[in-house]
Structure 1
Amino acid sequence: MFSPNRGFAEMHCMSGHSNFVSCVCIIPPSDLYPRGLIATGGNDHNICIFTADNPAPLYILKGHKNTVCSLSSGKFGTLLSGSWDTAAKVWLNDRCMMTLQGHTAAIWAVKILPEQGLMLTGSADKTIKLWKAGRCERTFTGHEDCVRGLAILSEMEFLSCANDASVRRWQISGECLQVYYGHTNYIYSISVFPQSKDFVTTGEDRSLRIWKHGECAQTIRLPAQSVWCCCVLDNGDIVVGASDGIIRVFTQSLERTASAEEIQAFENELSQASIDPKTGDLGDINADDLPGREHLKDPGTRDGQTRLIKDNGKVEAYQWSVSEGRWIKIGDVVGSSGATQQTSGKVLFEGKEYDYVFTIDVNENGPSYKLPYNITDDPWLTAYNFLQKNDLNPMFLDQVAKFIMDNTKGQTLLSTSAQFSDPFTGAGRYVPGSSSGSSTIPATDPFTGAGRYVPGSASNAVAPVGGVDPYTGMGAYQSAAAKVENIYFPKKDAVTFDQANPTQILGKLKELNGSATEEHKLTEDDLINLEKLLSATCNTSAETPTAQQLQTLRRAVNWPEDIVFPALDILRLSVRHPTANENFFSEKDHVQFIVLLLKFLNPKGKQANQLLALRTFCNCFVSQAGQKLMMEQRDEIMTQAIEMKSANNKNIHIALATLTLNYAVCLHKVNNIEGKAQCLSVIGTVMEVVQDLEAVFRLLVALGTLISDDTNAVQLAKSLGVDSQIKKYASVSEPAKVKECCRFVLNLL
């Protein structure tokens, strides 16, 4: 054990939370803060950020909706937080960059992996999730109860511990390599030794356990039931915090070992502890069958071995110490035969402990609902919150409140030392007996025959008019000998898909109309309307689209999936016209317009429809009304659009990259870091799968536009590992614009 007088002294007491603090994390030193920062998460839903020399917070991060119970720091000042609200959040300085959603219960453990952009979350829903650039890449299943801790072994491996009393070693690829058993109750915390695969764990069985080469090499008992947390220091010393409110440090170093008096005081404290066999690893005990003190004359067979004896009517527990070659008393056993102390259980629900979890049937044929309740709660408020959460009729308020009161009559608070509560569940220590325990589509042309209309076949890129670069408005690229200037970003205007062959589009529309069912068949007048609309929106006539023409188009784009693509192509062209976009983007109809297009972004749908839906979204950015609508619906559009990355079709990838670029153009004009974070996440995800260099180029322009003149966005891009993803494009020979744009982006990063 470490001496308290050798190296540790309280500098100051930091305060800033309005309720208990549940987790602490160090943010590494930076140019701005050379001593680093300290982050704390609390029951008040907040994260406080402190400097090392000031007891008051530097700033407070707000955004979680419940207790913040886990924190992890990464490169460039990135902070990852987990909460009872089932969400994890990525923070950079004083801003929330993105929210990771997917777990169904409290997130008790988070870790940022060494490889940039990879993050882990462990949850009370028994799963672990791997996130890359803000998106869930993989879910690890295997634990049989709530995941409580995570520890990183390398870029490819990590450890997890859980309430199922097991530790698991995982590969990032998803494979569980090993399961370690030793603890006999919840495992709360896990920490790895520096430059080693050995680790330590702490749990609800009063123990700190040291694991070497996959085996439990040493067990250290503490005079406290719950050993909440552990941390291995750089020098190999182990720090543990327990439910008795004391932090203890254990060391192998003779220079730092506590004095004989201090060690004896610790052993005396340990020997006077009371052990409830129900919460430990002592099993069923019959005091009458236990041997006497003479049983301690025989040496133990392994470190940490437990032996029970009966002495003067009391049951005592001893643990064998290999290093000292003796039995050390670890406490008096209570609750065995003849004991008077009793414990009563709590029930775990969604990661928190409750006195009761009722099953409520609101009506005979409806579903059942779980209602958690603590006897300190107000039954009326609990009933009200229950009805609100489950969207149930408020008329049941009296009925539910009466049910709670009728089923908790006569119950009083447990007389336990509740002042030391579980920072993860908000309850007292664990009481035993309470826990329950795309397939890709070939990039083939969906249409055949010479001279046939193929949507988007005219060009895979935005065709320059008269040799003008569509991104810069300037002439063609000059010789490599000339000085290269950044003409690529920040991009100021949206990129649209304008090329079309009206004759072919109309011809295909008429052909498919001939084979359409009576329900969908267009009249001759309808076809004339669409022909005039196409002419007006392609600028081949001076006419303005009429309401009747646009109404006909609305009917046509609701054709069956197999034949709708020519109508979608007309829609793609029409939304560029001021009259048409005013019609489609009006407050009355804009939601239906978005819903219509989103249905075509089904990964299992027709690629022609996917392509044209993406291009239509891109063309919406041509007007202010369209930009406003696209920004309002950004989250839903980008979430579904990103699924198109799995399509093995370069035209779809180019359209997806262009959509991302257009969002970047809009976001560059506003201070919306969450929008930029989402866009950066999409860029990182799509960059991994695209091979077409035109799509890559547009993603690079989008990236450059997002991070131009924004240090927060630069840091976030680096923390997500985007810089390492794009380095390979800095050496691309052709087209030269890819290499040049990439180098300009890397200069910013």
Structure 2
Amino acid sequence: MSSEDYQLSRVIDAHKDDVKAVQSTSEGLIISGGHDHCFRFWAKKGGEFSEVSSFPQKPSVHVNSLGYFEGNGEWRLFAGRRDGTITVYGPGSTAEKPLHTLVLHEQNVACLFVDEKQELVMTGSWDKTCVVFSIKEMDNESPQILRLVGQAQILAVHSLPEKDLYLTAGSDRVIRFWKKDTEIRQFTGHKDVVRALSVRSNEQFISASNDSTIRIWDIESGACIGKISSNFDSYIYSLTSLGDKLVTTSEGGYIEIWEPQAENKLLFQNQQIIKTPAQSIWDACFMLNGDLVTAGSDGRIYVWTTNEKRKAPQAIIEALDAALAAQTAKEAEIAEKQAGGKVVIKVALDDGAPSLELIYEKGTDPSIAAEKFIRDNDLPISYLSEITEYIKANIPEARAAVAAKMKPQETQRVEVDGEKWDYAFDISVDDGRKLRLCYNTGEDVDYAAQRFVEKYNLPMKFLAQISTFLRQQMTEAGATKGYTDPYTGGSSYVPESQTNIGGSVADPFTGEGRYIPSSFEPTPMDISSGDPLTSGGRYVPGSADSSFLPNSSRVVDKKKPQSEYCPLSKFYFFGVEQLSQKAKDKLKEVNSTQEIFQLNETQIGALEEIMCPKPQSLNVEILISAIELGLQWNIKDILPIVDVFRIALLHKELNQVFCDLKGRGADSHQRLTSLIVSEPSDAVCAVLCRAISNAFAHSWGQEMLMKNVEFTTTVIAQQVLHTKPVVQLAASTALANWAYLLLQRSEKVAELGPREDLIRVIIKVFENEISFGGKSELALVRLMQAIATLMWGDAAVIKLAKQRNIDNIVNRIKDGVVEESSKALARDIIEMLNAVTL
């Protein structure tokens, strides 16, 4: 170890949870903030650090960022908290009575920077704003606050030495340069979120990112003049400097020390790597004596020094080494277990030797392994379904993973709605309902699927999915025509689909035969070739039946993929099946509280009638008067009326009344959009988006929704990012309906403008969304359907989408969906983009 290398000095058991931020003072104190709702001051006495004061925060308020200021003989500590507030402490303040509690943000204050020379504070938040304020003016009744708006979630902020110049960075991977509150320039290049900034001068700064890179930027030109990569493929969480020395901390508990290169001072070279037992090192700072302080996810503060006198006692060093050895052993054990859960399949291309390895991890989606294999070996995408089907056919854990979402109930003559069935499956749909899918042994699965779809008024696109599900479940249970029901006893089941395979073919897992996928002729296979899973045989892709090819590989014109999802072939609507008796009861309950706009009994009766699945007769005039009156209710009461209104829009006459631009159309349009932008409750927002979807049912509604289309679609697209799945689905359905309407119109007349406008809207709304994980899968499918349908068959629109990097959005959506059919739709969109050249 070099004399200039950092060695362990002390380990402080500082917090009960993650230490998220650390600061140091001129007097040698360490300040730490943690997820245990507290920040603490630590002083070194007799060679050891001990707590000298603590400031507990209210429960559930994590301290995520700290900033410390010393000047004019006083000190100030700024603590950024998860609830969006910033508490300010100084001489004489206590945990219960800080000097100030600043309410500057609506969400977590993720980063905080104090510029001691300019005496200002910068804060960045998940609410997508950065706030700059003067420390001197905090005591004023109306301090001046500068708010920088235009970024996604802000994770790093920094000021420049020159006054009024600022940098912000965050989850959109973009670094922004500001003069006061005006954005001057953007710095792009990082492939993941930017978490840390460090300014070298008015001309240069440094950034660190989750993409494991550190970049040096020239401010005047906006160019990246240097890039270095971490030694580890892990997120970089912090970046701090002392003179020319640079320190980064990262996931995996790593600390990396960097020094300028001798031949090029603009670039850095790695001087030292330090490993800690913590899973993450969240933050770092230098003390006045040059020691390095780091914040660990294990609740500890690790202090490092280059001074031999401040080196830790041997017992502490040995304890650290033992902790690292235990961690290494645990990681090796985990790796061994993971390796034990993998299946290696030897793959041969054409007539070659089985030289390629396809690795499947048991219990995961087989399409993931197939897709990785294709990507790693630069193979045609047409192999995807074939390889996926082979994995599913031969590895039980793969079949279990695919079927994990919907498992059959093992019942014996289940009674549903007064009828007895051999099987009943619980099927959950995206609107929250749990529906019963019934099936009798021997009946046509397609007929059973159609019965189910029609009974519950589901979109017909579910028909193929339900049929496939039934076939899979019945094959596994052995319950198809001609064989005894295994749940009621009787003879063994022999799958019908295997009767045409050669009798001499052995199970691939036994090592007695060679498997070639899609070879369904009754020709014996080579017995001597061996099991592909035991490396004694080979799997040859490319001989599969065309039914296994993805849609993007079947079509001749890649700009016009054909599948159950693409392009859209009809509008989607939300019918009366979403209503219940509770909706009618709620209507009466809310109406009874109205003083000015109360509906009479006749009007209530008319609304109840239209809420029935099969209304006997509709009194249009009374319905119009009731809806008009109800729409004047306060927004907190309006839910039941909007719910009736969206049903009314499905009826031709009422759609004309409320949507005709020659009549009430403009008012209806304005009312719907105004209610959405007024940030209503989740339920109201969902029903408003459903109403817009239902307006497409007739020509008057279609024309109404083409009015001010760019603004309206932007408002609706933003709701796809809502936290509630029911809102996401309603909003994405509306976007899909716009796309289908524009496709219909483009087939009749060359009307490119609106399609291009909607593509721009989608890109603008979703381009900064880093992850679609957790979003409703059906909502994401509808969104992709909208994108695919807008682009379908039109090179100009596809080229525009490609120029705007819509492929990045689609790939992130693809990562957020689970079903293979959903991922296939994403691949079809990518194929459309690849079909045109820029």
* Same fold by TM-score greater than 0.5: no
TM-score, reference length from structure 1: 0.38
Of the two structures, which has the highest relative contact order with CA contacts closer than 8 Å and spacing of 6 or more?
1
